[in-house]
Structure 1
């Protein structure tokens, strides 16, 4: 029997779809699942793709059925399950073989796993995959961290199965060890901020203007035909226009307002904090999800603070709806600017040399945060990888034309008691970033007063202390 080009372990929803994607693109794939019955079921349901699939019931059988050097994708739950799978698989692999973790792993774990492998062990690749079930089946965005040699072995398969944007593959090697998983983490952080800002605008339209879901869906549908064109705005319109079969009500109205999270958003916020790089939109989005989980406490608070009910917005004009569109665009730009800044900082910290322009390009199709302005982001980073996106001429002009709308939306929402934490964070970030002289001089004075930490004087070298102990 002809050997497989690649192996895959874990036939859950993502793993099964990725395996079918590989097979459909002309590559033979050997598959294994801890439960052998699931492997057999997957194979039997593969239809015309069965001839491209080799079902295996042991890890030894899996390894024997893959052409050397053997790349094997792990699509298992992040954490201990990956470590267990690596340990179980390693005895059947050789030095040049490649273990590829395609889950949502913490990049620190990816770095550790690679370091733990000895000189005669297989190598380890951390591969971020974005696009959900549909992307896995028909073309995801793929972010790889590993050696050039290991990437060269798997590149043909990844190029074939990835999403395509105007004929270009949305797959790339972004750096060594944990670079791929880090970029995926920040992708998810931006995704958190983007989704939260969209939800906040939905809240303003629902609670501030009193619009029904279908009417709001039509607004998002219209916006998706303009500068806000993106996957998340597109699906928001579809979600808001959907009807629940059981009740006949708008589907969104029967869903409990408690958002789940699997950890990648928190990781993004934590890494930004550790690097000392502001990512306030991501942090606000993570906090908002945490607050959403406090369902019973929020119910109690609603009763405790009765009488402070949300007032209807004073402005319910078409002009205000247009301001919401422009304000959301400004907020999204700020979130992307923060995310790319964190990636640039991590790249410098870890010596990864992550190509930011390439990152933007492989996000143009397949991934959850694909949007119209990623081409402009890619162009902005060509030749100026270390600059904040808000300093790129194209985005300076965009923010000049949209920031006042964001200001109006945040101000009106605050006066009406409507929570817009991510939009407000984006506005504060923008205002702070463009302020030539801020207020940290007072903070430095305070720090020196109580802790003798010292401060810099304007236009002078060295550290100084203030006259705090001298008599007035």
Structure 2
């Protein structure tokens, strides 16, 4: 075999799937895993694609197998493992070789690595879509020098998912950590979307007495309308599945303790640094954390009694609540990306990001076409103020308000949906209540305030009697 077009390190679930995708698209690929048996097993299981795979047993063999200037994808766990791998490659690579970190890296780490003076070229790249996406077409968000992206753009666009119009869902987002930042926000939105769907599932199960089959039917119906998306589609599928051991609905035998890799938490933390309000995402992270406290939740139920009580809400109202919640969540995510673009000087292309998310990734949704169009009209405008989405929110908001109000009255936990509604009500209030907070701050700390009449008198008469 001729030398490989590209190399890949790390043949775990995602790495193996991505390598097969690259090979299937006709690019010879050299692969290496620190456990030699894994590399050999991968090559043996590659079938007809093995003709495009060069399995190597040492890093030196891997480097020698790639045509220079080399490009190598890292698919290793985020954090120290990436730094260790970069250090191991340093004496083997030339200055014009390129290493691509395609794991779920913290964008701050990607910024640090980009600025650290590595003896080779470096790209950070977010890859979304799970194992299925990696194998058959993920969404790809690159970050780094434009010339470095251009060197591998043919491979990345070839393996990426395709939107309905045929556009590949792969693009360079900006410099350094921009790709991993956009992937991080994507994951935060993913947390929030999943949480809102779970909250509506809970209302149907616990408040309306619907069984898993009826819930599956509701999700499947919603997937034919404005909510058409990967997450609604798979929600219909998982609620329809039966446990092969008991015959019961599969979801009914799964422990309600949600795992997380940490990217949603990173999104919430970074939003605070950017002063970018993303309460739906923050509520979703909080809910996952609470889900892990099973013993405390059981103790709470024993002390205070089962919370959820029966509730009467039409399925169409639940659908409208999810439509409104989804728009509010995405609006918060795009606003956070906009804030980061200004803070870090990335000039992030918001409509371009929406287009990349249209296929391949976990949050792919029919709404993203309209979001891309709205963001192209005015990237600086909050998505909720775009005419198309403002009208959609106006029609869906009563449903969200009813679901949150009646759900709360009957003890149903709806943290993400409620947080979205509260954020929206703050955003539509021209004069809020922060004037009292400013008065309090001035009273105890002489922090000052601005007056609505423009007078230059920044402190109150707190020492005087009324």
Question: If the length of structure 2 is used for normalisation, what is the TM-score?
Answer: 0.98
Distance verdict in 2 for CA 1:265–1:461, change over 3 Å = farther
1:220 aligns with 2:219: yes
Query: 1:317-356 to 2 correspondence within 5 Å?
Result: 320-356=314-350
Q: Distance in 1 between matches of 2:225 and 2:36?
A: 49
Which position in structure 1 is the counterpart of 2:116?
A: 116
* Contact 1:242/1:250 (8 A) holds in 2: yes
* Contact 1:3/1:65 (8 A) holds in 2: yes
For the aligned residue pairs, the C-alpha RMSD in angstroms reads 1.0
Deviations 1:212-238 (A, max 9, x none): 111101000000001110000000000
Q: Distance in 1 between matches of 2:13 and 2:161?
A: 18
Q: Secondary structure at the match of 2:99?
A: strand
Q: Distance in 2 between matches of 1:91 and 1:238?
A: 49
Q: Distance in 1 between matches of 2:448 and 2:3?
A: 67
Q: Secondary structure at the match of 1:54?
A: strand
* Contact 2:100/2:122 (8 A) holds in 1: yes
Q: Distance in 2 between matches of 1:154 and 1:312?
A: 56
* Contact 1:186/1:339 (8 A) holds in 2: yes
* Contact 1:341/1:388 (8 A) holds in 2: yes
How many residues align? The count is 465
Q: Please list every run of 5 or more consecutive structure 1 residues that lacks an aligned counterpart in the other structure.
A: none
Q: Distance in 1 between matches of 2:114 and 2:309?
A: 55
Which position in structure 2 is the counterpart of 1:293?
A: 292
Q: Distance in 2 between matches of 1:270 and 1:436?
A: 28
Q: Secondary structure at the match of 1:128?
A: strand
Deviation of 1:471 after TM superposition, in Å, equals 2.6
Question: If the length of structure 1 is used for normalisation, what is the TM-score?
Answer: 0.97
Which position in structure 2 is the counterpart of 1:282?
A: 281
Q: Distance in 2 between matches of 1:290 and 1:461?
A: 47
Which position in structure 1 is the counterpart of 2:16?
A: 16
Distance verdict in 2 for CA 1:463–1:88, change over 3 Å = farther
Q: Secondary structure at the match of 2:340?
A: helix
Deviation of 1:64 after TM superposition, in Å, equals 1.3
Q: Distance in 1 between matches of 2:403 and 2:456?
A: 44
Q: Distance in 2 between matches of 1:20 and 1:309?
A: 49
1:5 aligns with 2:5: yes
Deviations 1:151-190 (A, max 9, x none): 0100000010000012110000000000000000000000
* Contact 2:169/2:356 (8 A) holds in 1: yes
1:200 aligns with 2:199: yes
Q: Secondary structure at the match of 2:447?
A: coil
Q: Distance in 1 between matches of 2:20 and 2:455?
A: 63
1:175 aligns with 2:174: yes
1:366 aligns with 2:360: yes
Which position in structure 2 is the counterpart of 1:39?
A: 39
Q: Secondary structure at the match of 1:382?
A: helix
Which position in structure 2 is the counterpart of 1:442?
A: 436
Which position in structure 1 is the counterpart of 2:146?
A: 148
Query: 1:235-246 to 2 correspondence within 5 Å?
Result: 235-246=234-245
Q: Secondary structure at the match of 2:38?
A: helix
Query: 1:360-439 to 2 correspondence within 5 Å?
Result: 360-439=354-433
Q: Please list every run of 5 or more consecutive structure 2 residues that lacks an aligned counterpart in the other structure.
A: none
1:452 aligns with 2:452: no
Distance verdict in 2 for CA 1:26–1:459, change over 3 Å = farther
1:91 aligns with 2:91: yes
Deviations 1:238-285 (A, max 9, x none): 000000000010000000000001100000001111111100000000
Which position in structure 1 is the counterpart of 2:247?
A: 248
Q: Secondary structure at the match of 2:122?
A: strand
Deviations 1:332-380 (A, max 9, x none): 1000000001011011100011101000001110000000110111011
Q: Secondary structure at the match of 2:100?
A: strand
1:74 aligns with 2:68: no
Q: Secondary structure at the match of 1:173?
A: strand
Which position in structure 2 is the counterpart of 1:312?
A: 310
* Contact 2:307/2:412 (8 A) holds in 1: no
Q: Secondary structure at the match of 1:4?
A: coil
* Contact 2:201/2:215 (8 A) holds in 1: yes
Deviation of 1:310 after TM superposition, in Å, equals 2.6
The range that moved more, 147-156 or 54-63, is 54-63
1:160 aligns with 2:158: yes
* Contact 1:117/1:123 (8 A) holds in 2: no
Q: Secondary structure at the match of 1:177?
A: coil
